[in-house]
Every structure is written in C-alpha cells, then in structure tokens.
C-alpha cells in the first residue's frame, strides 16, 4: 500500500510553469549567443535569456554591475534601452534568424532541481521575472553563460558616487549609450583597464589617467602607450575628491606616499578584475572550486563545459576569467559552441565531432596575488574606517573586530576580547558566519560590492590562502525582486487550501502540560490549529 | 551529580548551547561538541519568535528573554511584544484561539480594530480585518543569539569543540562514561543529547530509539524598510518579523520531509514556495508590494510524532539527558536550557511540568510511524502514475 501523503507538505504540490524548454541559454554575451546559435543549428529548440536592459532601480543598487550612479535617466526608458542593446549586439539578430527564441530584459532569479533536500519537483525549474511578474519554466538542459561582474575592491573614498566598475562602464558606454560622465580615471593597467580606456576614447570621452599599483603588464602595454593617456604605475589611491560626487582623485607613489597629487575627473572606473558569475551554479548544486588563475570560485566542468549536475553546462566568463578571454571574446564564443554541441549530443542529436578546445596561449596568471596587492595597497589598520560593506555600513574595523552592526548597542568591554583572530581559534573562518555577525554582505546589493574583498580580508588577516575561506552561499532570488513581482500569482488552489504556518501538527499548539486529546487528530480541529502561531 | 563532575553536550544548537550555558552558570564543567559551527543549522536560521503559550516552558521563556542580553553579555536583538495581523475575519477568529491560551495564563491580549492596527503597522491594507497586540512574547536574532550563547559559555570557562563529530558513546555500569569523537575521546559524568535532526542517530548509539522525522522549511527576506514600533508583526499564514535592521524575514507554507543519510546535514535548498511566501507577505502588507526580496534560506528541523518536545532523563544510561524541541526550539531555548540543566544536575525540573514531554509516551509507536503519517520523502519521479506537477499552461 502506498504511504499516505502529508497534505501540508510539498509532496504532490504543483508549481505551474509557463512553458517547457528543451535548452535554455542564460546570458546573451559572446558565449551565450554563440551557444544559442550553435544549438539551434544542431536542431535544438533554444530559448536565450538575457537580463539587459535591466531596470533602472537595479542599476541604482549596483546590480548586476557596479554602475556608480553614472548612468543618465535614459535608462528609465526600457523600450529605448532594448533597442540599444539589440544594436550593440548584432549577433542577436543572427540568433533570431537561426531560430533562437530570444527574450531580453528577463531576470533568471532561481533554479530548482532535485537534490538531497529537494525531491518533490517533477522537472528542473528556472525562476524568471521581468518588471511586472515572475514565472517558472521547466527545462531539460541549460547552458549558463552568465558572464562576469565587477570585482569591487575598497580604497579611501570608493563609496562616493562616480566610482564604477569596468563592466558597469562598458554597459553604460557601449550597451546602453547612457553614460553620464565625461572624464575618467581608470584603475588597472591590465587588459581590462585597456579595454575600458579604448571604449571610452571610441565614445569620445576623455581618459585623464590610468593608475595601477603594479608595474605595466606585458600584455597590452604597447597599445596602452599609444593612447596618449598618462599612466601612473606603482601608485595608490589616497582619496577621492568632491563634495557629494567624484570631482577628482588623489594618488601617490607607493614608495613615497607624501608625493600625492590630484587628477580632476568625474568618474573613477575600477578595472582591476572581474568575478565569474557562479551564483546560478551554486543554486543548482554544481561543485565549485577555487581556481585563482581563473579569477576565483568557478564551477568544475569538463572540456565541453559539462558541470557535474546532469544537463547543466557552463560557458564563457562564468566558468573562469583570464586575460586572454577578456582580450578576445572569440574564446568565450568558442566555449559556447562547444557547450552547445555537448548539450545537443547529450540530447541524443546526431552532432558531428565536438569542436576542439582552442590552444591556451600562455599559462594564466595568479589573479589572487594581484587582488591582494590592490587591497593591501589601499586598506590597512591605519585606514580601518574604510567602508567595506556599503549597504550595511560595515567598516574594516567592524569586520576584523567581528563587531555587531551599528544599530545595536553592546558591551564594548566584552567585545574587546572578541575579534576575527579569537573566532579563528574556535575553528576555520567561515564567511557566512562573519556575514551573520557583522552583516557584511547582507545588503540590498546582495553582496556584489563586498563578497570578494571580505573573503580576501578574512584570509589576509588569518594569514591563510584566499581559497581556504569557503564560498559564502548564494540564495534566490539572485536579483532583488519586489514582493509583487516575486509573488506566485499562478499559485494553485491546492497550495492555498493546504497552506499552514508551521507543519500543521495539532498537538503542537495545544497545552503541552496536558496529553494530546484524541479530537486533535480530527481534520476540522487541525484546520483551526494549524493556523496557529509559532 | 557530584561537584566537579563534567558534562558533554552533544549538539551546538540553541538548545544544547543554552543547556551548556546554564550548567556553566552553576559551575559545572561543560564541553559542547558540535559537528560544524555553532547554531549553523535550524537554530541560526529560523523566524526568531519567542511566543509559545502552548509550552510548559512559556512562563520561563517570557521571564528570561528580557534579561538575556544582560545575562549573556552579548546582544541578542530581543524585542518584546508581538502583533497578530488578520487580513480576513476568518483569520481574526482563528487568532482568538491562541489569545485564549495566553490569557488563561494571565497574559494580556489587546484587540485592535483596523484603525488601531494601522497605527502600529502602517503597511496593512484598507480592507484588513483587524489584529491583536500581544503584551507578551517577542523575537530575537537567532544568528546573534547562538553566538552570544557560545561566547558566554567560553567566558564562564566552558569549552566548545566545533567541527567535531560524535562517533560513539561509551557506557559502563549503566552510565555514559565517555563520548567518542573523530577528534578524540571525552570522559564525562553526564551527557546531554541535543542534536536536533540528528538526535535519533546519537541516541541509537545507546540503543535508545527517539522518534523524530527531519524536514526542510524555508523563509524569505526583504531589503530594509523603516522600522515600525513592534517589529514582531505576522499573520496571513506566515510567521516572522521585521528585524532591528529593518528587513522583513518571513516563513511558512509547505515543508519537505527528508532523510539524513549520515552525520552531515545536506545543504537545505529553497523551492518555488518562495514565490508563495512573497504572495502572502504582499497580501498581508499591500503597501510594501514594491519592497524587494533580497534573500531566501532554508533549514532542517525535526518533529516528533505529536509535534511536542522530548525533554527527558533516561533511566538507562541514567546520566543521559535527551532533548528535541520538535521544530520549535529557538525561542524557548533560554527556558529549555534551564530545564535541561536541572534534569542533568537534579534529575527534575522545578519550574515547569514536563510530564507529557517524556520519551515514554512513544512507547507503543509503530516502527513505520513516519510512513503511516506520510512524513517521508516524496519524489515525483517515483510516483506510480505519471505525476506532472509542472503541468504546462499557456
């Protein structure tokens, strides 16, 4: 006899889906576009999703890039922005011609698959949303080509409006054509900084200077010198200047902090590095490893981009950031095509031999060492009031002291004996624990502006490798979504009829100094009781 | 128990930590053994509610919480009072049930008409049925509280061993004499088992069967909004609160029964139920429909067959105390720890009637009680007929 089903549990509950998609491709950057087109040519029905143009409200939160309050009001006009995104990505038209179902301005905020604590879903589900509502789609396979976001690293005054990231600047200038600045200082003389400088000059903007804490890297240095931009290597930022917004930056040679000088600018673009977007992999339960040569935490994949979760593939920068890939989007596109062919083959289609992986020109550099150099050049005990988590106003001192947030009063004497080192004596430092105690990373930007630097600071303070601090978990919704949007407008009547606050066990809410009465088992009584408080 | 005797507490959740803290306060040497990080599982990821009039520990819960910051020395974010929001007249009628239980014990419930409710909770809609202001109960920050317990234990000389998994319990002459772990053996004069969903696995080492079924439940969190006077406002099928930071943290709805394969707790994921949570929160607080959800989380809790705690000292081995709070442990933890410490030291609790929370009440339980109740994992893939819970609609 089959077991009865607990009606208040998730067992048998239906979650209506808007459609079933054989292959989802997440992200319409170089990797995702190439993957979608290739998969469609292989004969798969493909839906290609991209969140751009994102809502201006998200741009204001620095989601998904660090926009630094440097986009003009045109971003509020979504139809216009959609036209610009299409214009900036001519391959989108090619994808449509190839039969790809392209959806722009759609957020992928959650993924729900079978796992150790989730067995009730009949199909893998992806949560999607636009500005008005959310919905679910089911899928057979998904290629995640979610790209990379800006690595935010603190320096004195980095929380002033006008400080943005490389991808934020690229989106503002090229994708949205809605950049509100005129004169930029670029931080980072590597290929990423070079790209920002070139893009800015092409758009007719002035690049006042390029600043790096290191020496000029071999890659791209020749090109950089031809741009006619003053380059300040082995310099650090001492302050940002301005009343409310950025009006300039003060820098000084590392070797001679006293020799500081000011550069006038309205925008500072932090182009030190990018962070692979692994959030969807984390939700899906894909094993993620620490690979400093690939920019940090990345999903474990095979040569064709298969993750170890069946049906989930990774392509492009979300699987790893290298100088070669930043300089040449064709590498991401090639990875997208390989993942598409793998998906098509796994779907049982007769696809020709897989594309060979392109040769790697040079062994990728250890990006972690570079990140540490940048952070150590700008943040130390003498500048402990530098803000680390801007949403929750957690300064360096608060973070390393494991201090409660500022809205709480507490006994300072008690906390004098408590800090990161005393906590480390109790066991390995865990960023999720630090997050809970200090709130660093708990804010509305969902940790995008501090996750990586908190990890670095915890590791540096503990004299331990960066990768020894485990990845703090990502949580749905992966984009901040209004209650009215996330709301299950399509919820089933069965869900409503069987909804309980907490388990619906009648005896739990009757006086526990008396035995459970027999009548508590009756359905009517339990209906009343399960509405009870917890 | 003789003076100088030492106690090993298995489980660094709210219940185990509180028990250890109370033992430390009495000068008993204590070691807490925790397989991961203190408060990492359900104790650190719940609604933070401290309003349990159905529990014999209710009065002690209410007495202790206002003092906890001072007693522990670290902030818990405890806030007194609760507000029950009733969107429909039906909800209002149901809320009377809980109110009656508290009023019978001498606690005050203030009925609120829609206007009075709106003054306290400006987020409610025009058609809200009414509400109640509970002059008892409250809420605290679970994450901060579990760490406060842990630090307070250390301040009193107690030991907390994190990342230490119990592998066995040595029994001699009817008493537990040592706890074996993957980090070494700990000699002891008494043992407290407060291992949450893992309680049954630990007590099985003693040949004692504790009927608990683990399940996953989930919550959502919004960005901060301006503080209202009493943040502990919930209803409409949700439990939760506005935190002191201003975030709204709410849970409720379908749970998922799971299986624990070993000593580890698998990462509890979220489900599409998060959308239904958002719907109920927007229904309860229609003026906050624009407020953004920024996070969700899930946790694993255990339930006994009648949903009530087991707080008991075993007869054999006679120096072992077992505790499961049956999925409602955080808020009651100041009181449950006090009761459990008394069971360890004196063999009985002098401030609450725990008669009906003994393990023996499950003496006649069928071996397949979980299947009988439907409290077992359910997989769409394993259904005899093709279940299409994701029926496509256009």
User: Do both B234 and B289 map to the same domain?
Assistant: yes
Q: What are phi and psi of A493, to 5 degrees?
A: -65, -35
B155 and B279, same domain (yes or no) = no
Place B384 in a pLDDT band, splitting at 50, 70 and 90.
Answer: low
Would the pLDDT of A77 be above 60?
yes
Rounded average pLDDT over A175-182: 97
Q: Are residues B175 and B201 in the same domain?
A: yes
Q: For chain B, how many residues are written? A: 394
Residue B98: predicted pLDDT? 86
- Among residues of chain B, what percentage have pLDDT more than 70? 96
Contact at CB, B378 and A480, closer than 8 angstroms = no
Is A9 in Cβ contact with B379 (below 8 Å)? no
The pTM of the whole model exceeds 0.90: yes
Q: Which of A389, A401, A300, A311 is nearest to A347 (CA)?
A: A311
Closest CB to A10 among B147, B224, B254: B254
Average pLDDT, chain A: 94
Dihedral Cα A483, A484, A488, A490, nearest 10 deg: 180
* Percent of chain A topping pLDDT 70: 95
Domain count, chain B: 3
Q: How far apart are CA A200 and CA A192, in angstroms?
A: 12
Q: Transcribe A347-406 into DSSP letters.
A: TT----SPPPPPPPSSPPP-HHHHHHHHHHHH--GGGTTSEEETTTTEEHHHHHTTPPPT
In chain B, count H helices and then E strands: 10, 18
Same domain membership, residue B288 and residue B197: no
B348-375 confidence digits (pLDDT tens): 999 999 999 999 999 999 999 999 999 9
Same domain, B223 and B352: no
This complex has an ipTM of: 0.96
Q: Is B88 near chain A, with CB under 8 Å? A: no
Same structural domain, B313 and B296: no
Element (H, E) at A324: helix A323-327
Segments forming the whole domain that contains residue B154: 4-75+141-212+306-363
Predicted pLDDT of residue B390: 47
Are residue B204 and residue B342 in the same domain, yes or no? yes
* Same-domain status, B280 and B328: no
> Nearest C-alpha of chain A: how many angstroms from B169?
24
Note the pLDDT tens digit of each residue in A481-510.
999 999 999 999 999 999 999 999 989 999
Put simply, the answer to whether A483 touches B281 (Cβ < 8 Å) is yes
Measured distance CA(A251)–CA(A262) in Å, rounded: 6
Q: Are residues B299 and B248 in the same domain?
A: yes
B266 CB near a chain A CB, below 8 Å? yes
Q: Domain of B345: which CATH number?
A: 3.50.50.60
- Whether B222 and B280 map to the same domain: the answer is yes
Q: Which residue of A has its CA nearest to B267?
A: A117
Residue B172, CA distances (Å) to B200, B208, B319 in order: 21, 16, 11
* Residues of chain B contacting A412 with CB distance shorter than 8 Å: none
A291 closest CA partner among A320, A313, A271, A312? A320
Angstroms from A151 CA to nearest CA on chain B:
20
Q: What percentage of residues in chain B have a pLDDT greater than 90?
A: 93
CATH code where residue B239 lies: 3.30.9.10
What value does the mean pLDDT take over residues A387-411? Answer: 95
Reported confidence tier of residue B385, pLDDT bands at 50, 70, 90: low
pLDDT (0 to 100) of residue A521: 58
Contact A60, A164 (CB under 8 A): no
Q: Which among B55, B379, B390 has CB closest to A14?
A: B390
d(CA B169, CA B185): 9
| Mean predicted confidence (pLDDT) in A296-319 | 97
Instruction: Tell me the HSE value of B175 on the side-chain side, using a 13 A CA sphere.
Output: 10
Q: What number of C-beta contacts closer than 8 Å exist between A and B?
A: 319
The reply to whether residue A484 touches residue B270, judged by beta carbons under 8 angstroms, is no
Q: pLDDT tens digit string along A324-358?
A: 999 999 999 999 999 999 999 999 999 876 667 66
Whether B104 and B251 share a structural domain: no
Mean pLDDT of A212-231: 90
> Distances from the Cα of B384 to the Cαs of A506, B211, B379, B381, B388, in angstroms?
30, 28, 11, 9, 12
A495 contacts B276 by C-beta, under 8 angstroms: yes
Confidence of residue B382 (pLDDT cuts 50, 70, 90): confident
Asked if the C-beta of A471 comes within 8 angstroms of chain B's C-beta atoms, the answer is: no
CB B45 within 8 A of CB B52: no
pLDDT band at A524 (very low <50, low <70, confident <90, very high): very low
pLDDT of residue A358: 67
Q: What are the two backbone dihedrals, phi and then psi, of residue B340, each rounded to the nearest 5 degrees?
A: -65, -40
Q: Across-strand partners of A46?
A: A23
Selected for mutation to probe chain A from B44, B88, B93, B254 (highest A CB count within 10 Å) is: B254
Residue A520 has pLDDT above 90, yes or no: no
Greatest alpha-carbon span in chain A: 87
> How much of chain A, in percent, has pLDDT values that exceed 90?
89
B241 and B292 in a common domain: yes
């Amino acid at each position: 006899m089959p077991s009865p089903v607990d009606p208040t549990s998730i067992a048998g509950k239906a979650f209506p889906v808007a459609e079933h998609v054989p292959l989802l491709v997440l992200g319409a950057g170089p990797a995702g576009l190439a993957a979608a087109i290739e998969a469609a040519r292989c004969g798969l029905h493909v839906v290609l999703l991209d969140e751009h143009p994102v809502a201006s409200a998200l741009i204001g939160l620095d989601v998904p890039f660090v926009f630094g309050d440097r986009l003009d009001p045109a971003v509020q006009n979504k139809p216009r922005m959609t036209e610009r995104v299409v214009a900036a990505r001519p391959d989108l038209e090619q994808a449509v011609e190839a039969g790809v179902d392209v959806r722009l301005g759609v957020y992928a905020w959650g993924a729900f698959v079978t796992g150790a604590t989730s067995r009730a879903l009949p199909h893998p589900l992806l949560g999607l949303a636009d500005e008005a509502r959310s919905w679910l789609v089911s899928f057979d396979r998904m290629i995640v080509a979610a790209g990379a976001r800006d690595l935010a690293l603190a320096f004195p005054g980095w929380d002033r409006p006008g400080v943005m990231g490389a991808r934020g600047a690229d989106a503002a200038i090229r994708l949205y054509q809605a950049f509100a600045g005129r004169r930029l200082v670029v931080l980072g003389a590597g290929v990423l900084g070079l790209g920002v400088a070139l893009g800015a000059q092409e758009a007719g903007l002035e690049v006042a200077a390029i600043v790096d804490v290191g020496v000029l890297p071999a890659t791209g240095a020749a090109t950089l010198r031809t741009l006619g931009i003053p380059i300040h290597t082995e310099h650090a930022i001492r302050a940002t200047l301005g009343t409310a917004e950025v009006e300039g930056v003060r820098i000084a040679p590392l070797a001679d902090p006293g020799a500081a000088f000011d550069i006038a600018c309205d925008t500072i673009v932090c182009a030190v590095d990018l962070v692979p977007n692994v959030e969807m992999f984390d939700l899906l339960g894909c094993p993620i490893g620490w690979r400093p040569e690939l920019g940090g935490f990345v999903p474990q994949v095979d040569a064709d981009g298969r993750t170890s979760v069946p049906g989930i593939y990774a392509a492009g920068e979300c699987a790893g950031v290298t100088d070669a890939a930043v300089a040449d989007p064709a590498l991401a596109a090639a990875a997208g095509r390989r993942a598409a062919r793998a998906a098509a083959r796994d779907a049982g289609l007769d696809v020709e031999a897989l594309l060979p992986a392109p040769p790697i020109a040079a062994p990728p550099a250890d990006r972690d060492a570079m990140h540490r150099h940048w952070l150590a050049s700008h943040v130390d005990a003498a500048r402990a009031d530098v803000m680390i988590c801007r949403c929750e106003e957690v300064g360096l001192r608060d973070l390393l002291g494991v201090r409660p947030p500022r809205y709480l009063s507490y006994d300072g004497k008690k906390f004098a004996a408590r800090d990161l080192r005393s906590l480390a004596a109790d066991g390995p430092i865990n960023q999720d624990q630090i997050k809970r105690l200090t709130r660093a990373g708990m804010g509305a930007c969902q940790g995008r502006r501090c996750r990586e630097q908190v990890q670095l600071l915890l590791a540096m303070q503990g004299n331990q490798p960066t990768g020894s601090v485990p990845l703090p978990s990502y949580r749905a919704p992966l984009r901040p979504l209004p209650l009215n949007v996330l709301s299950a407008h399509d919820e089933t009547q069965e869900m409503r009829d069987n909804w309980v606050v907490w388990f619906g066990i009648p005896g739990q809410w009757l006086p526990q100094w008396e035995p459970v009465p027999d009548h508590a088992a009756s359905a009517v009584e339990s209906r009343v009781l399960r509405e009870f408080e917890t | 128990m003789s003076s100088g005797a030492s106690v090993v507490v298995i489980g660094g959740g709210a219940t185990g930590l509180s028990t250890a803290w109370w033992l430390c306060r009495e000068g008993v040497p204590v070691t807490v053994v925790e397989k991961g990080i203190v408060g990492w599982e359900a104790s650190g990821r719940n609604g933070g509610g401290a309003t349990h009039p159905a529990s014999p520990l209710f009065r002690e819960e209410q007495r202790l919480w206002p003092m906890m910051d001072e007693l522990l020395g670290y902030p818990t974010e405890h806030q007194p009072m609760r507000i029950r929001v009733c969107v429909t007249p039906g909800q209002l009628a149901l809320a009377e049930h809980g109110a009656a239980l508290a009023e019978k014990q001498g606690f005050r419930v203030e009925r609120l008409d829609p206007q009075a409710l709106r003054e306290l909770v400006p987020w409610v809609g025009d058609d809200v049925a009414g509400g109640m202001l509970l002059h008892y109960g409250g809420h605290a920050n679970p994450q901060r509280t579990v760490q406060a317990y842990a630090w307070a234990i250390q301040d009193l000389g107690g030991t907390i061993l994190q990342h230490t998994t119990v592998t066995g319990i040595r029994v001699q002459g009817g008493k537990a004499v040592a706890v074996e772990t993957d980090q070494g053996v700990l000699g002891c004069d008494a043992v407290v088992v407060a291992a949450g969903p893992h309680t049954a696995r630990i007590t099985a080492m003693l040949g004692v069967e504790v009927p608990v079924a683990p399940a996953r439940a989930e919550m959502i969190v919004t960005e901060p909004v301006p503080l209202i006077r009493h943040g502990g406002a919930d209803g409409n099928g949700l439990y939760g609160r506005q935190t002191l930071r201003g975030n709204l943290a709410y849970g409720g709805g379908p749970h998922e029964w799971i299986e624990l394969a070993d000593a580890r707790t698998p990462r509890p994921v979220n489900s599409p139920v998060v959308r239904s949570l958002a719907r109920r929160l927007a229904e309860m607080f229609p003026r906050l429909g624009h407020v953004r959800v920024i996070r969700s989380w899930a946790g694993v809790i255990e339930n006994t067959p009648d949903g009530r705690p087991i707080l008991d000292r075993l007869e054999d081995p006679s120096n072992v105390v077992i505790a499961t709070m049956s999925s409602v442990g955080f808020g009651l933890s100041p009181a449950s720890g006090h009761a459990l410490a008394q069971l360890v030291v004196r063999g009985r609790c002098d401030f609450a009637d725990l008669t009906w929370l003994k393990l023996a009440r499950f003496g006649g339980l069928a071996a397949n009680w979980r299947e009988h109740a439907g409290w077992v994992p359910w997989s769409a893939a394993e259904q005899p007929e093709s279940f299409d819970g994701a029926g496509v609609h256009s």
